[in-house]
Amino acid sequence: MIVTIDGPAGAGKSSAARSLAKKLGFRFLDTGAMYRSVTLEAARRKIAWEDSESLAQILEGLDLQVTDDRVLINGEDATEAIRTFDITTHTRYVADNLAIRQWMVRRQREIAAQDNFVTEGRDQATVVFPDAECKIYLTATDEVRAERRYQDLLSRGEQVTLAEVLEKQQQRDQRDRQRQFGGLCKAADSIEVSTDGLAPEEVLQKLEKIVASCRQV
Ligand code: DC
């Protein structure tokens, strides 16, 4: 079975998807981590962000392992390094790249063919797994999402202000929605859940109920 969780940045997708997968005994796939990994690799290789061909060439021979809780790039643990504010700000160049998106879609389908999965991203229900048995669209207001990201970055020791995080988030939302391929949009058959004002356990309960109802269909 595949459960997809899509939605804008900071809606709480990762933690909800991870805890849902654990509860269901499914594997978890964080597809944002895959785009982030290529972004980190581009930064390390000092590739010009506008050079889409060189960005796509990163994929040649790239050993990218995204497990339930770790990300390994060519065998090196990059779990923390892909989450910095700088990498987050530059992910759009990778996410906008059609050749990279096509590679990601293929790779994500290969991974999910191996087991039951909860996958999380922007295009999971619409592009990657249009036939998924259960599709969830997770949202929250701009302010709640920015606050969540801000607290996350502070806990990682980053020097940012809430206003900065909110501004970058609004820019990223707009790009995510306007992206020509794999842009963020709710699939017609996705069930929308707002995480505003909900504790993580309450979100998890809601998601479990949705999965149970999908299983009965
Ligand atoms: O969810 P996240 O913040 O880790 O995502 C990182 C970037 O990757 C963000 O710019 C959106 C993009 N992304 C995407 O285009 N498609 C996905 N399935 C997942 C993430």
Q: What's the domain range around 140?
A: 2-195
| pLDDT for res 8 | 94
| pLDDT for res 85 | 87
pTM exceeds 0.85, yes or no: yes
Residue 166 is assigned to a structural domain of this protein: yes
Residue 207 is assigned to a structural domain of this protein: no
The preferred substitution site among 36, 80, 149 for testing ligand 1, maximizing ligand atoms within 8 Å of CB, is 36
| pLDDT for res 216 | 85
| pLDDT for res 139 | 96
10-residue mean pLDDT series, the chain (217 residues): 95 94 97 98 98 98 93 97 93 96 97 96 97 97 94 92 94 91 95 95 98 91
Among 85, 89, 87, 91, residue whose Cα is nearest residue 154: 85
Residue 68 is assigned to a structural domain of this protein: yes
Count of the separate structural domains present in the chain: 1
Residue 209 is assigned to a structural domain of this protein: no
Residue 216 is assigned to a structural domain of this protein: no
* CATH number, domain containing residue 156: 3.40.50.300
The preferred substitution site among 29, 34, 35 for testing ligand 1, maximizing ligand atoms within 8 Å of CB, is 35
CA–chain centroid gap for 190, Å, is: 16
Residue 191 is assigned to a structural domain of this protein: yes
Cα separation of 37 and 66, whole Å? 9
